[in-house]
Structure formats: C-alpha cells, structure tokens
Structure 1
Amino acid sequence: MAVLTQDMQEFVDANLCWVATQSLDGVLGLGPKMSMYVLDETHLAYHERTAGQTYRNLEDGSPLVVACANLAEKTGYRFRGNVTLHTDDELYKEQVAVAEANGTKVPACIVVLEVTAIEDLTGGAKAGTTIAKD
C-alpha cells in the first residue's frame, strides 16, 4: 500500500475530493464526495449517501479514482487503489453514528479505498507524476 503523508492527510481533510468510476457499459462517472475522510495512513473512505450510479458502478467492480485539489494553491493529489464496500460491519455502524451525530443522511455504504498509488496534481511539469506506488 502507498502511505499518505501527514501533509496529504491534512490536504484531503481540508479540500473537496472528487471520485471517478466506470459503468459496465463504459460510461465514466464523476462526482464530488463531501464526506471523504482519511481512515488511516493507507486508506481513504467516504459515506455513499445517494446509492446512485457511482455506488452501482462500485458494486459492479469499477475501479475508483479519487482526486483532491486546491485551486487557489494549484496543488492536489490523485489516489488509486482497491475498493471495499462496508454495509453491515463495525466500520459501517461507527460511521452511521457519525452521520447521525452530524445530522447528515445515513449512508447506504462506507466506501473504503486501500491506496496503492498516489499521483501529484500540482500544476506544471510535475502534474500526473507518481509520488508513491505499491
């Protein structure tokens, strides 16, 4: 697994992340995930609240790509890896409690990305270069 540095973890917590998936018929999907958080130094997670196309794509085995950027600083990261969907375990129950405490919609699922690659999205010559790879 690729390891998220402290700076990367703080960056994810401070900026909006977007996820990309692909349907079985090849249609790409892209959407913001305001609930994205750092689970630990090798995993990102978010509350799948709508259970819409992105969720169906993940259920069908789509890869997941997470991009997080700060336009003012022209910096960002892209994360790739393996997906696990949590719908009825301790992690799910813990996050349902978080959602209820925050007054947000109870998630249909907690999506966890085991990060295996991290790419630089800083503007300029470094854009797209690999920072870490499993």
Structure 2
Amino acid sequence: MATLTEEQKQLVQDAFGFIATVDENGNPQIGPKGTLRVLDDEHLIYNEETGHQSWHNVQVNPKIAAAFHPYPGMKGFRVEGKATIHKDGQIFDDAEKYAAANKLPKALAAVVISVDRTVSLDAGKNAGIEIENNPVKD
C-alpha cells in the first residue's frame, strides 16, 4: 500500500474531503464526507450515515477515490483505493464512539479506504502528478 505522509494526514484533518464512487453501470458519483479521516498510515475511514448513492456504490463496486484540497489553498491530493465495509467489530465500534463523541448520527457502517495510490492536486505544474502507487495485489 501507499503511505500517507504527515503533510497529507494534516491536509485530511484540515480540508473537507470528497469521495468518488462508481455504480454497477459505470456511472460516477462524487460527494462530501464530513467524517472522512485518517485511520492509520495506509487507510482512511468514514462513517456511512445516509445510506444513499455512495453507500450503494461501495457495496457493488469497491473502487473509490477521496480528494482533499483546502480553500483557499494551492496544495491538495487524491487517494485511490478500495473500500472495505465494517458493520461490526472493533473498527465499527470505534466509528460509533467517534460519532458519539462528535454528536453525529449513528453510523450504518464504517468504510475503510485502502491508500493504494496518491496523486497531487496541487495548483500549477504538479497537478495530476502521481505521488505513490503501491496497490495491494488481490
């Protein structure tokens, strides 16, 4: 897996994150995820609260991307990976604690995103440049 740098982890904390998913027919969808955060050096996590389109999509197609770019700001990055759904166990329990501590709705699930590839979203000549690509082999 690719590894998040300290600068990237800080950007995840500071910026509002969006995820992009694809349904079973190849139709793309993008939307904000207010609970998107760092789980560890190789994973992001978010609490699935709504059960709408992105939730449907990650259940039928685990490919997912997350983007972070603060406003105003000139630096950003994208993570590409696979979503793993947790409806019970320690990861889900920790997501429930996160929701309670932040006065958020109860989670339907915790969705963990593997950090397989990172891409620069910096303004200027570095936009779209691959930072790291190290997907886990199935």
Using structure 1 for the length normalisation, give the TM-score.
0.96
| Residue identity matched to 2:121 | L
Shift of 1:107: 0.9
CA-to-aligned-CA distance 1:74-101 (integer Å, 9 cap, x gap): 2100000122111111110121122122
The more displaced of 5-14 and 70-79 is: 70-79
**Alpha-carbon distance in 1 for matches of 2:122, 2:101:** 35
Alignment of 1:111 onto 2:104:
no
Structure 2 distance, partners of 1:25, 1:83, is: 18
Which ranges of 4 or more aligned residues in structure 1 deviate by more than 4 Å?
none
What is residue 39 of structure 2 aligned with on the other side? 39
* Greater share of strand: 1
| 8 Å Cα contact 1:23/1:62 also seen in 2 | no
Question: RMSD between aligned alpha carbons?
Answer: 1.0
Letter in 1 for 2:106: V
The answer to whether the Cα contact below 8 Å between 2:84 and 2:111 also exists between their aligned partners in 1 is yes
Unaligned runs of 5+ in 2: none
Q: How far did residue 133 of structure 1 move?
A: 1.0
CA distance in 1, matches of 2:42, 2:100: 26
1:9-88 to structure 2, matched below 5 A, reads 9-88=9-88
Identity of aligned residues (%): 29
**Is the CA contact 1:68–1:77 (under 8 Å) kept in the aligned structure 2?**
yes
Contact 2:62/2:82, CA 8 A, preserved across alignment: no
**Which whole-Å CA distance do the structure 1 matches of 2:122 and 2:11 have between them?**
13
Deviations 1:59-81 (A, max 9, x none): 00241010110231221000001
Shift of 1:11: 0.6
Unaligned runs of 5+ in 1: none
Matched residue of 1:93: which SS?
helix
Conservation of the 8 A alpha-carbon contact between 1:66 and 1:79: yes
Are the aligned partners of 1:95 and 1:110 in contact in 2 as well (CA < 8 Å)?
Answer: yes
